[in-house]
């Protein structure tokens, strides 16, 4: 009877603890609760706990000799195992990024464990060992884990209301920030274990309980504040990008205005000449005038107008900023850059940061190669269809590219080991099964294409 009751208690504890961690991770990552994914996590979590209990029972006599050291290593391995299993399941079922998922799993474990620890310490201060075994198990094991689950649900509701998932993503905006965040979250997950090893505290003491409760509140406030502060910095940076983009637009408009003034002056002089030709009945001269005027208009004004129309059709601000900056850079180097955006671009089909990296690599490579050619021409095409975003970057070249060699890892026309651009491009696009790349040579242009299906 005692054995059956103990087994049921352990199953209930595993249910509460695994549900608390899973639900918190779902909230932090901004996903919806998936019952099938949780069921898999619950089964694996329970099996790990059973195996851990069996190992602990088998090595019980040895653990008594090295209790502090064993407890330290044991807890770190066990907690890391829980977080790793949860992260793997999320990456497989929710398609979330590895670093962000690992960070969310570590934070979730910290919150659930700390909340449960508060309940354990409180009950240990209230309950004596003289009571019935079954009641003792309920009061010191079942109720604290149930309390931890309820507190985790409450914290998850607060985080969801505050839209913490949006702020949490900011921690993983670049590689350096990702590494720092992972180190901090892993430390946070094992904080209580590290504190117990460094400065053991008396279990069941009121001060210990208050400390645990205050620590979880403080940690959440620090996390939220840091996330909001980082997000606000990113927002300021985005606003600065928009300002730079607007300044570039103004520069294009000013250039167009100057061209219009020059064209008006020249056109007035030309009209005076053609007026005399009309009086003399010189039809061929008038036809030649019309042709030259049309060519002059296309050469002087047509490209600037197409740029403005194309840039205006890019509705994704980060993408517009990148394209505008790249065009301005190429124009500063006296290169001929043509932008064609026929339809409004509103969707990307992949993470915007990945698309920006891909396009940045293609445009930089095209500009560098085109600069060595005689014509110095770069064409950029963005075409959004109903279920696809098609992107092409074409450039003139001084020497015809070897397409077979360009497919090799680490290849670069610059020599040495600098061919990381195309390698990075293949790595990024390889993460998206809906993304297709192609490169070919046509009409004296080297063309690189990216097609992303929605």
Same domain, yes or no, for 40 and 181? yes
* 106, 189 Cβ separation under 8 angstroms: yes
Residue 107, exposed/middle/buried by CB under 10 A (0-12, 13-18, 19+)? buried
Tell me the two tokens of residue 32: 């919806």
Does residue 438 sit within a domain?
A: yes
- Read off the pLDDT of residues 240-291 as tens digits, 9 standing for 90 and up: 666 666 666 666 666 666 666 666 666 666 666 666 666 766 667 666 766 6
Which of 204, 235, 255 is where one domain is finished?
Answer: 204
Does residue 418 sit within a domain?
A: yes
- Read off the pLDDT of residues 424-433 as tens digits, 9 standing for 90 and up: 788 788 778 7
Range list of β-strands (E), 295-434: 336-341, 377-384, 388-395
* 362, 393 Cβ separation under 8 angstroms: yes
Domain count, the chain: 2
Give the span between the Cα atoms of 355 and 325, in whole angstroms: 15
CATH value at residue 390: 3.30.565.10
Same domain, yes or no, for 193 and 46? yes
Same domain, yes or no, for 144 and 11? yes
Which of 151, 184, 204 is where one domain is finished?
Answer: 204
CA torsion, points 166, 167, 172, 174, in degrees to nearest 10? 100
Pairing label, strands 435-442, 445-453: antiparallel
Tell me the two tokens of residue 100: 């962000």
In 3-state terms, what secondary structure has residue 448?
A: strand
Give the span between the Cα atoms of 122 and 105, in whole angstroms: 26
Q: Is 88 left (phi over 0), alpha (psi -120 to 50) or beta?
A: alpha
Same domain, yes or no, for 323 and 191? no
Give the span between the Cα atoms of 90 and 256, in whole angstroms: 52
Tell which residue, 373, 377, 411, 406, has the closest CA to residue 394. 377
Same domain, yes or no, for 60 and 191? yes
pLDDT band (50, 70, 90) for residue 166: confident
Does residue 82 sit within a domain?
A: yes
Same domain, yes or no, for 183 and 322? no
Q: What is the pTM of this model?
A: 0.57
- Read off the pLDDT of residues 310-335 as tens digits, 9 standing for 90 and up: 777 888 877 887 887 788 788 778 88
Give the span between the Cα atoms of 185 and 152, in whole angstroms: 17
| Domain range for 86 | 2-204
Does residue 379 sit within a domain?
A: yes
Question: What residues contact 387, with CB distance under 8 A and at least 6 apart?
Answer: 453, 454
Same domain, yes or no, for 196 and 343? no
Does residue 376 sit within a domain?
A: yes
pLDDT band (50, 70, 90) for residue 416: very low
Does residue 179 sit within a domain?
A: yes
- Looking up tokens 């274990």 gives 193
Does residue 246 sit within a domain?
A: no
Same domain, yes or no, for 181 and 318? no
pLDDT band (50, 70, 90) for residue 67: low
Same domain, yes or no, for 198 and 320? no
Does residue 217 sit within a domain?
A: no
Which of 175, 204, 233 is where one domain is finished?
Answer: 204
Estimate the crossing angle of helix 98-126 against helix 191-198, to 10 degrees: 50
Could you tell me which residue, 208 or 445, shows the higher pLDDT?
Answer: 445
Provide the CA 364 distance to its chain's centre, in angstroms: 22
Same domain, yes or no, for 189 and 320? no
Give the span between the Cα atoms of 14 and 46, in whole angstroms: 6
* Strand partners of residue 338: 379
* 24, 112 Cβ separation under 8 angstroms: yes
* 372, 398 Cβ separation under 8 angstroms: yes
């Amino acid at each position: 009877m005692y054995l059956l009751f103990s087994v049921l208690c352990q199953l209930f504890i595993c249910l509460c603890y695994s549900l608390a961690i899973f639900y918190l991770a779902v909230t932090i990552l901004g996903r919806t609760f998936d019952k099938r994914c949780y069921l898999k996590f619950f089964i694996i979590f329970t099996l790990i706990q059973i195996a851990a209990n069996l190992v602990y029972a088998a090595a019980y006599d040895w653990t008594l000799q090295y209790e502090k050291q064993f407890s330290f290593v044991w807890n770190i391995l066990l907690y890391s195992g829980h977080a790793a299993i949860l992260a793997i399941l999320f990456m497989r079922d929710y398609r979330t990024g590895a670093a962000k998922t690992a960070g969310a799993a570590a934070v979730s474990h910290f919150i659930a464990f700390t909340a449960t620890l508060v309940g354990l310490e409180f009950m240990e201060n209230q309950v004596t060992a003289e009571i019935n075994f079954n009641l003792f198990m309920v009061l010191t094991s079942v109720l604290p884990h149930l309390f931890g689950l309820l507190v985790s649900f409450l914290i998850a509701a607060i985080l969801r209301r505050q839209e913490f998932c949006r702020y949490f993503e900011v921690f993983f905006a670049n590689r350096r920030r990702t590494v720092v965040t992972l180190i901090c979250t892993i430390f946070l997950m094992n904080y209580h274990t590290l504190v117990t090893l460094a400065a053991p505290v008396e279990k069941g003491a009121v001060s210990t309980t208050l400390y645990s409760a205050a620590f979880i509140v403080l940690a959440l406030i620090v996390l939220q504040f840091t996330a909001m502060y980082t997000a606000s910095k990113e927002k300021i940076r985005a606003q600065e990008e928009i300002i730079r983009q607007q300044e570039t637009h103004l520069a294009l408009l000013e250039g167009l205005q100057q061209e219009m003034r020059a064209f008006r002056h020249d056109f007035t002089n030309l009209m005076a000449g053609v007026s005399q030709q009309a009086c003399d009945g010189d039809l061929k001269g008038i036809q030649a005038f019309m042709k030259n005027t049309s060519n002059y208009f296309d050469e002087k004004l047509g490209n600037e107008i197409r740029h403005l129309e194309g840039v205006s059709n890019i509705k994704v601000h980060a993408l517009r900023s990148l394209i505008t900056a790249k065009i301005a850079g190429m124009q500063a180097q006296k290169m001929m850059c043509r932008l064609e955006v026929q339809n409004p671009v509103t969707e990307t089909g992949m993470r915007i940061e990945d698309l920006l990296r891909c396009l940045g690599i293609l445009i930089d490579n095209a500009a560098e190669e085109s600069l060595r050619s005689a014509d110095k021409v770069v064409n950029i095409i963005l075409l959004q269809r109903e279920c696809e975003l098609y992107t092409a970057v074409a450039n003139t070249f001084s020497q015809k590219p070897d397409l077979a060699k360009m497919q090799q890892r680490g290849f670069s026309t610059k020599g040495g080991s600098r061919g990381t651009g195309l390698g990075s491009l293949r790595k990024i696009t390889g993460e998206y099964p809906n993304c297709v790349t192609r490169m070919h040579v046509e009409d004296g242009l080297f063309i690189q294409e990216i097609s992303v299906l929605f």
